[in-house]
Amino acid sequence: MVKPVRYGIIGCGMMGQEHIRNIALLPGAEIAAIFDPDSEMTCRSKALAPEAMTYDRIEALVSHESMDAVLIASPNFCHIAQLEQIAAQRALPLLVEKPLFTDPADVPRLEALRDNYPAPIWVAMEYRYMPVIAQFLGQAQEATGGIKMLSLREHRFPFLEKVGDWNRFNRYTGGTFVEKCCHFFDLMRHALRAEPVRVMASAAQAVNHLDESYADGTPDILDNGYVIVDFDTGARAMLELCMFAEGSAYQEEISAVGPAGKIEAFVPGPGRFWPDALGSQPVARLVTSPRAPRGPRTTEIPVDPALLEAGDHNGSTFYQHQRFAALVRGETKTPEVGLLDGWNAVAMGIAAQVSAETGQSVDPRKWMARC
């Protein structure tokens, strides 16, 4: 029998419910307590975790005695304040959804958390744990002989409807390059084992949400763009994003190239968005291509259908919780994706937003963590 891990969950919307479904598949894990200010989201989450206690205040949830860790899956702009609320009350291992923060002015608050919070903080960068991407990351250095060029392409559907449609506005999300793309900036740093020194971006809002109107105004989020990043090792990376490309065979395509060859990962999008008329959805693929005269080798990387059913991230949410639960149990000592990882990924996103707005290259280090 494994030591049980009892979660408290703050934020029970779309992503919070995905976490609940995946935790339910994890042996020795359970939901002890939930909090969401929206009654409908609370009811939906209670249906998924009927044994959980529900609370109407974060302070009450954190006081729940039989709780081993807290997951924050609330809207982006809430994360820092909620981290501070928990830190002021109790030192528990924390798993906080991306992005870690949204406002450059939050950097001093992150520094205080880094210096004073005694328990581990893990930032939820699910993309690292997609099975095909995990294999890509594990093989990339050998396959390429050292990555010199890294390319990431995401062609997907527009932002989904959230409670209050907060994700339509830069002031709540931090901007598309922060909200959506911090995953990819994290993968860049992780795959290249390097730090960014220059970010250049070109982007626009060309198609999505232009006909929508809210009390807060017209949505202002980017829906397409390119980002080029130079790293301190001399390697460079590029991101291509399009958020009006539903029905693409693969939602994410990643390639790394070096002196020995190339490796590529192809990731299908969530099955629930795949049009029935297109038949069976493709399976994730990994392709390695040594330099000529040898040709490419393709391997399919299937994912357990139960994991695909439990969430929209190709099984990664489950595998992330496996590793986080091991940390909570004391089987591992440090988060695989720590506070500084989440912090620096957002700093790159902020730099991309600024570059897209100004047309100038930007040094992301002004917002990055200084150890």
H or E segment to which residue 109 belongs: helix 107-116
Pairing of strands 224-231, 196-204: antiparallel
Average pLDDT over residues 212-237: 96
Average pLDDT over residues 160-176: 94
* Residue ranges per structural domain of the chain: 5-126, 128-304+340-366
263 CB-contact burial (10 Å; exposed 0-12 / middle 13-18 / buried 19+): buried
Identify the architecture of domain 5-126 in CATH. 3-Layer(aba) Sandwich (3.40)
Give the C-alpha distances (Å, rounded to integers) separating 134 from 2, 131, 266, 282, 285.
25, 5, 12, 18, 12
Contact 83, 114 (CB under 8 A): no
The pLDDT-based confidence of 120 (bands split at 50, 70, 90) is very high
Report the percentage of the chain scoring pLDDT > 70.
100
pLDDT tens digits for 345-362? Answer: 999 999 999 999 999 999
Q: What is the pLDDT of residue 371?
A: 59
Q: Considering the domain 128-304+340-366 in this protein, what is its CATH number?
A: 3.30.360.10
Task: Write down the pTM of the prediction.
Answer: 0.96
| Cα separation, 243 vs 223, whole angstroms | 5
pLDDT tens digits for 198-214? Answer: 999 999 999 999 999 99
3-state SS class at 203: strand
